[in-house]
Homo-oligomer: A and B are copies of this chain.
């Protein structure tokens, strides 16, 4: 495609996206297609000869859109948000255009330095501890962040021996709340510890936050049995209900036992851009690593998980291998960061550009306004639920997630969910709370206004 063809088709695509946002409310939020429907509409074989780009746009409308669940729809209340925004889309487009691959500092110094710099900006905006400055990196997802935190923890707990000798069944343990994301168990499996190494902490039934006393009991038992506590993963805004663990208390206990402390604040952490939500950071001065996802609730297209370590030594030691074909003067000088040593992949996209564009376009005030709007709408929604005798709220909801159910029971609650989702008017999902089923009203689309939340409540309470 020549530069001039790119200009022409590029404008068509930009207009297609602008049009998409203008008509997004005309689509059912949840795609209604049956399994196999999309594949059946696609040609069986790839084309022998090239086609004009218009054909792709035509088929996007005809064939692909019916199979899209519209995550950017203002009435998307499922899971957690996956914010897109104009500046992020365009920042990412610039990254695609440059096509620079920043595996090493030397392979595009700006890709590395802008990333370190913008993560310092974000750390400042969130009010993170100063130990994280200069020690930030963009990971693919929070699952990847948890995995590399575990690898750094194993390096530290073993004095570096695991890199050569590997792990030994039953030697190390990992601790996390029974409300934590499934990625903690996945990381234990990937890192060779197995799910048996995972100790799930009981939670307070009212707050659904991990109980520090239970952590202390488990640590005592493990140490008595010769098991090494490697990692504690505390959740700030757990996936099911948004539960916030008591990080300071948990971290103090875990540190005493020598464990690495990682905080997974994938969804909730970014709310700390607003000073009234800085309490989310309580205890972070005691932790070893921290992750939050601008690609969830901070207007930055997927993928952009931001991850910081208080000391990079263990992380880099766990992941660094230097073959001859990657040697270069800058790396050997020790004066630069080579981000390839901070995660699983070697190659890396210039993802800092989109985060840079987002922070500059919105500024601190714009980011705060974004988060505040959703929290206010969620609080208002919660007040409507609380005032209706047929419903009950099942967990604290200090941010933009409200978990609630029909008093009539689990089956009625699930049936209500199925009915509203099938209507296409909104989309929300469910979770398990204290053995029962609850619905999750998760508010976070940049396009959501009060009228969308009102309409959702009207549909739910109809």
Contact = CB atoms under 8 A, between A and B. Distances in A.
A219 B348 CA distance: 35
A406 to B, nearest CB: 17
Report, nearest first, the 7 A-B pairs whose CB atoms are least far apart.
Answer: A192-B192, A1-B86, A67-B110, A166-B194, A10-B14, A84-B99, A17-B97
Contact of A344 (B15, B116, B144, B193): B144
A333 to B, nearest CB: 7
Contact of A124 (B45, B163, B359, B363): B45
Interface in A43-93: 45-51, 53, 55-56, 60, 63-72, 78-79, 82-93
A197 B163 CA distance: 10
A361 B53 contact: yes
A60 B94 contact: yes
A186 interface: yes
Contact of A86 (B9, B93, B346): B9
Interface residues of A, number: 160
A359 B56 CA distance: 10
A6 to B, nearest CB: 4
Contact of A165 (B17, B99, B194): B194
Contacts of A71: 98-101, 107-108
A180 B327 CA distance: 16
A16 B91 CA distance: 12
Interface stretch (A18-26, A210-218, A251-259, A452-460): A18-26
A38 to B, nearest CB: 4
A292 interface: no
**How many monomers of this protein are in the complex?**
2
Interface string A340-375: 000011111100010011011111111000000000
A240 interface: yes
A69 B117 contact: no
B189 A318 contact: yes
Interface in A165-182: 165-170, 181-182
A325 B93 CA distance: 32
Nearest to A10: B14
Interface string A103-128: 00111111101101100011011000
A39 B101 CA distance: 18
Interface stretch (A220-228, A282-290, A295-303, A387-395): A295-303
